[in-house]
């Protein structure tokens, strides 16, 4: 017999699905709709949730509000893919419906969390957040009643009814994984101005035992760590923790690499670094696939930004999928997955040449708003060199990607990029062997993702140029720049 709980949830899901259909049929303006990124059909999207490889498919869930293109009571949107590139949208997976995840006002909903494959079934772990409740945040379980499309909330919810102690600043975003025969869960939290991560363990996903503070801020790394993700990378006891610290200045996402001791429940840190140096990269999450790859998607936006696409009835997107690779020094590289090569269309090549100081070389083969570019330069030849992208015909609008040799700084300048926020993203970057700088770029209608020196540093930014600003050029200032090679591909749309 169907319980009341199941019925209420089904009703909320049905409403949300209907809103998705109606909302998406109303979207007419395409100017910022991305061609090959996962984004909602309508309404609002934030964090990726429940990334998982299950029965031959990649599943991506996400924080979703189907009724308006602004944040509201959180649902979980859902899409699935066979190849990480082409996505099929699925019915809404979770909707607020219970006292632990539905309030009457203020912030509430099914907040961020994760998915795990439990035998033959898919299980979701998420935070029930209700502003007026005490505690405000509890951890909940929902289990698939079919092949990972429909989810029933557990009668045992909340499976973690509150934080392990009083006085915590936040207790949310459970990320679960299995090690040997035990399930482990990290939860984001903060205490006395320091972000930290709480570790729990379970044998059945229902009963959870508090273990430890798995990792803690050094005092300068934000006061609450949202969306923690702790996973093995690079073999042995090597692990990486990714967090999105609140109130850490320009650093929006950070990773800590080191070794994880499951007995003690502690991560010993070798290195802590910013994960991406752009403005629009937050709350990333990873999955491990059947090839053993660790694949990450981030939310390709940031809280507080101007979001011009809201006017068009939608908001939010995920980054392209990126594979994480641990380097011997403990740093992590992010590389676009090779599956993205299937999007490649027309190819355009520019011969190795000198770009004279003070000149620009037009890239006439670039005519689209969806392009992949791979360019190799001598890093030390000119004072400043790089590319101008999404240029208007009159030259007043463009986004500049450049490198300043004197202080070895890579930057993306979007001050003249169009609508939306301006600003310059910067990161220090030493040349590769042979004194080379390699820029690998993914341009989509309203985004620019830059992978420098084979993923050593990345920068993710949203840009909102006019649709007909499609020009591109190479430039050099203060000396001649040397282009070693250049190839670009027009990228096909996924839907
Ligand atoms: C991060 C976050 C999470 C929370 C969710 C709510 O962007 O604030 O901590 O679960 O968004 O939508």
**Distance from the CA of 283 to the center of ligand 1, in angstroms?**
8
Element (H, E) at 463: none
Atom of ligand 1 nearest to the CA of 71: 12
Q: How far is the CA of 302 from the centre of ligand 1 (A)?
A: 11
How many whole angstroms from 152 Cα to the centroid of ligand 1?
22
Strands (E), 82-133: 88-94, 108-118, 121-130
Q: Which atom of ligand 1 is nearest to the CA of 226?
A: 9
The answer to whether the Cα torsion of 218, 222, 223, 229 is positive or negative is: negative
Minimum-distance ligand 1 atom for the alpha carbon of 244? 1
Tokens 């909320």 belong to residue: 12
Quick one: residue 408, left, alpha or beta (phi over 0 = left, psi -120 to 50 = alpha)?
Answer: left
290 with 350, same domain?
Answer: no
pLDDT, position 116: 98
Antiparallel, parallel or unpaired: β 43-54 and 314-315:
parallel
Distance from the alpha carbon of residue 282 to the mean position of ligand 1, in angstroms:
10
Pair 181, 259 in one domain: yes
- What is the domain range of residue 48? 4-336
Beta sheet of 322-326, edge-to-edge order: 282-288, 294-299, 322-326, 332-336
Nearest ligand 1 atom to the CA of 188 is 9
Q: What is the pLDDT of residues 236-295, one digit of tens each?
A: 999 999 999 999 999 999 999 999 999 999 999 989 999 999 999 999 999 999 999 999
Please give the average per-residue pLDDT across 183-187, as a whole number: 98
Q: What is the pLDDT of residue 136?
A: 96
Q: How far apart are CA 55 and CA 58, in angstroms?
A: 8
pLDDT tens digits, one per residue of 194-251: 999 999 999 999 999 999 999 999 999 999 999 999 999 999 999 999 999 999 999 9
Ligand 1 neighbours, Cβ below 6 Å, are: 46-47, 63, 74, 111-112, 127, 172-173, 226-227, 282-283
Report the mean per-residue pLDDT for the chain: 97
The answer to whether residue 3 scores a pLDDT higher than 90 is no
In this structure, the residue with its CA closest to atom 6 of ligand 1 is 111
Instruction: Tell me how far the alpha carbon of residue 17 lies from the centroid of ligand 1, in angstroms.
Output: 22
Indicate whether 290 and 372 sit together in one domain.
Answer: no
Claim to verify: residue 220 and residue 330 sit in the same structural domain = yes
Q: Which of 336, 359, 390 is the last residue of a domain?
A: 336
Q: Is residue 1 predicted with pLDDT exceeding 60? A: no
439 and 365 belong to one structural domain = yes
Choosing from 336, 359, 381, the residue where a domain stops is 336
* DSSP track, 42-96: SEEEEEEEEEEEETTEEEEEEEEETTSSS--SBEEEEEEESSSSS-EEEEEEE--
Q: Which of 70, 168, 226, 282 to mutate to test the pocket of ligand 1 (most atoms within 8 A of CB)?
A: 226
In the prediction, which pLDDT does 5 show? 84
Give, as one character, the DSSP assignment of residue 11: H
Spacing, Cα 226 to ligand 1 middle (Å): 7
Say how many Å lie between the CA of residue 381 and the centre of ligand 1.
Answer: 44
Residue from 11, 10, 74 nearest 46 by CA:
74
Pairing of β 436-444 and β 447-452: antiparallel
Contacts of 324 (CB under 8 A, 6+ apart): 233, 240, 286, 294, 295, 296, 332, 333, 334
pLDDT band at 495 (very low <50, low <70, confident <90, very high): low
d(CA 379, ligand 1 centre) in Å: 39
**CATH number, domain with residue 62:** 2.115.10.20
Regarding pTM above 0.85, the answer is yes
Q: Could you tell me if 118 and 239 lie in one domain?
A: yes
Quick one: 485 and 406 in the same domain?
A: yes
pLDDT digits over 138-183, tens only? 999 999 989 999 999 999 999 999 999 999 999 999 999 999 999 9
Number of domains in the chain: 2
d(CA 173, CA 72): 17
Distance 43 CA to ligand 1 centre (A): 16
Choice from 113, 168, 224, 227 to test ligand 1 binding pocket (greatest atom count within 8 A of CB): 227
Ligand 1 atom 9: the closest Cα is on which residue? 226
pLDDT over 60 (residue 333): yes
CA atoms 146, 200, 264, 230: torsion sign: positive
47 is known as an active-site residue? yes
Same domain, yes or no: 408 and 472: yes
Residues 307 and 396 in one domain: no
pLDDT at 124 > cutoff 60: yes
What is the best residue among 111, 137, 187 to mutate for testing ligand 1's pocket, by most ligand atoms within 8 Å of CB?
111
Question: Which has the higher per-residue pLDDT, 270 or 345?
Answer: 345
Note whether 331 and 349 are same-domain residues.
Answer: no
318 and 354 inside one domain: no
**105 pLDDT band (50/70/90 cuts)?**
confident
Q: Are residues 292 and 198 in the same domain?
A: yes
What's the CATH number where 407 sits? 2.60.120.560
- Under the banding of pLDDT at 50, 70 and 90, the label for residue 118 is very high
Chosen domain end from 321, 336, 351: 336
Best residue among 63, 130, 229 to mutate for probing ligand 1's pocket (most ligand atoms within 8 Å of CB) is: 63
Q: Which atom of ligand 1 is nearest to the CA of 303?
A: 7
Q: What is the pLDDT of residues 448-472, one digit of tens each?
A: 999 999 999 999 999 999 999 999 9
> Which atom of ligand 1 is the closest one to the Cα of 47?
7
Segment 14-30 shows an average pLDDT of 97
Measured CA angle at 147 (ends 145, 152), to 5 deg: 25
Average pLDDT for 373-389: 94
Out of 47, 101, 229, 444, the active site residue is 47
């Amino acid at each position: 017999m169907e319980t009341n709980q199941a019925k209420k949830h089904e009703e909320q899901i049905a409403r949300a699905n209907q809103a998705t259909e109606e909302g998406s049929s109303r979207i007419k303006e395409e100017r910022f709709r991305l061609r090959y990124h996962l984004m909602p059909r309508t309404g609002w999207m934030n964090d990726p949730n429940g990334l998982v490889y299950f029965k031959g498919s990649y599943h991506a869930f996400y924080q979703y509000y189907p009724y308006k293109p602004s944040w509201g009571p959180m649902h979980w949107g859902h899409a699935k893919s066979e190849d990480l590139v082409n996505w099929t949208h699925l019915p809404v997976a979770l909707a607020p419906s219970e006292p632990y995840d539905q309030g009457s006002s203020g912030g509430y909903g099914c907040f961020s969390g994760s998915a795990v494959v439990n035998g033959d079934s898919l299980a979701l772990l998420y935070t029930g957040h209700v502003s007026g409740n005490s505690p405000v945040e509890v951890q909940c379980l929902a289990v698939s009643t079919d092949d990972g499309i429909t989810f029933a909330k557990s009668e045992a919810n909340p499976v973690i009814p509150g934080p392990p102690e009083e006085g915590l600043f936040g207790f949310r975003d459970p990320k679960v994984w299995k090690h040997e025969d035990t399930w482990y869960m990290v939860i984001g939290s903060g205490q006395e101005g320091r972000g930290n991560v709480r570790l729990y363990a379970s044998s059945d996903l229902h009963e959870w035992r508090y273990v430890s503070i798995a990792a803690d801020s050094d005092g300068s790394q934000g006061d609450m760590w949202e969306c923690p993700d702790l996973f093995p990378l690079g073999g042995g006891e090597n692990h990486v923790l990714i967090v999105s610290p609140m109130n850490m200045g320009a650093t929006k996402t950070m990773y800590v690499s080191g070794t994880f001791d499951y007995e003690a429940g502690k991560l010993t840190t070798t290195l802590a670094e910013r994960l991406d140096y752009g403005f629009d990269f937050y709350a990333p999450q990873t999955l491990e696939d059947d090839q053993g790859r660790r694949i990450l998607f981030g939310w390709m936006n940031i809280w507080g930004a101007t979001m011009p696409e809201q006017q068009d009835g939608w908001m939010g997107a995920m980054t392209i999928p990126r594979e994480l690779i641990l380097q011997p020094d403990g740093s992590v590289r992010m590389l676009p997955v090779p599956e993205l090569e299937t999007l490649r269309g027309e190819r355009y090549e520019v011969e190795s040449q000198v770009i004279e100081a003070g000149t620009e070389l037009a890239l006439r083969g670039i005519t689209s708003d969806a392009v992949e570019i791979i360019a190799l330069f001598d890093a030390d030849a000119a004072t400043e060199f790089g590319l101008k992208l999404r240029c208007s015909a009159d030259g007043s609008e463009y986004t500049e990607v450049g490198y300043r040799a004197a202080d070895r700084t890579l930057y993306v300048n979007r001050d003249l990029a169009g609508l939306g926020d301006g600003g310059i993203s910067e990161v220090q970057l030493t040349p590769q062997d042979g004194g080379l700088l390699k820029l690998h770029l993914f341009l989509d209608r309203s985004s620019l993702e830059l992978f420098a020196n084979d993923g050593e540093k990345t920068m993710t930014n949203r840009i909102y140029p006019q649709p007909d600003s499609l020009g591109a050029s190479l430039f050099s200032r203060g000396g001649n720049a040397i282009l070693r090679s250049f190839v670009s591909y027009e990228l096909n749309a996924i839907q």
